[in-house]
A = this chain, B = another copy of it.
């Protein structure tokens, strides 16, 4: 049975179902309690689960992210929320030096089953310190899984998988999608890690798009379809592990690839995807891989400038045209 949910509702459903099923699961973060989270994800959960399991934290990102690790190491299954992904920088040591390495440094004896939910993306002119998409830092850090869904059903299914997984998972939620709706399976619904979703099939060009950028890619594809250009839009859904095979297979078919990511251009995830396609599909590529990313500038405040630095549908179209030229 499908029902229509927003991303926020789908995430909440995953949280609630998993918390009902497993008493070790709990959420913590700033304003997640009675307030329900500034993006409403935990709305109503405090009423059901109470103070202990829907835990408001002080503004101490390094502290509560580290505490999530501590709880996970001794048997809990915490889900910590970073209100803005930009604040990952505040908790960075705990994320990259502690959480990502706890298992490896112990020779595989420790497990750190925790989920760190963080918002990414520019929305509503919140400027340079509240608009970033820093998933590349995490993807560059071995030991973390990194998830970046683009629709409510994947949000629910991937979040459930993340909560049940024994590895630490960075769960990137795009701010522009929280209040966008989509069909979501009721009850048990999981999406495995490492399986990309081909959101649209096509034979002229492969477009790999991450998170919200999937929507830009689909809009571009729709537009170009009018001209007879058939884009294959791939949503990797999980960046670590990444479903490289699906990407390569598509590019081997189309011979052309565009990567769209809201992270900054240089040394980001799009660069990784472009580099791997360049290597694995070398003999199949008819044109260089094109990247459509946020410019290498901080995100400016004023909306027209914000729009300018973030990939838009026209940028996606331009990128696709470039590889087809």
Tell me the A residues contacting B by CB distance below 8 Å.
86-87, 89-90, 92-93, 95-97, 100-101, 104-105, 127-129, 134, 136-137, 139-143, 240, 263-264, 266-272, 274-275, 278-280, 282, 285, 287-291, 295-298, 300
User: Nearest Cβ distance between residue A283 and chain B, in whole angstroms?
Assistant: 9
A298 touching B127 by the CB < 8 A rule? no
Cα distance, A80 to B72, chains bound together (Å): 35
Instruction: List, in ascending order, chain B residues with CB within 8 A of A266's CB.
Output: 139-140, 142, 240, 272
Instruction: List, in ascending order, chain B residues with CB within 8 A of A89's CB.
Output: 92-93, 95-97
User: Nearest Cβ distance between residue A323 and chain B, in whole angstroms?
Assistant: 10
Cα distance, A86 to B100, chains bound together (Å): 13
A269 touching B267 by the CB < 8 A rule? yes
Closest to A280 in B: B288
Cα distance, A282 to B282, chains bound together (Å): 10
Cα distance, A104 to B279, chains bound together (Å): 36
B298 touching A288 by the CB < 8 A rule? no
User: Nearest Cβ distance between residue A321 and chain B, in whole angstroms?
Assistant: 15
Given A137-B137, A275-B289, A289-B279: A267 in contact with B264 (beta carbons within 8 A): no
B128, B267, B275, B278: which contacts A104 (Cβ < 8 A)?
A: B128
Instruction: List, in ascending order, chain B residues with CB within 8 A of A127's CB.
Output: 105
B97 touching A86 by the CB < 8 A rule? yes
Given A128-B105, A129-B101, A296-B142: A90 in contact with B90 (beta carbons within 8 A): no
B87, B137, B274, B287: which contacts A140 (Cβ < 8 A)?
A: B137
Q: Which of A129, A263, A300 gathers most chain B CB within 10 Å?
A: A129
Cα distance, A137 to B95, chains bound together (Å): 13
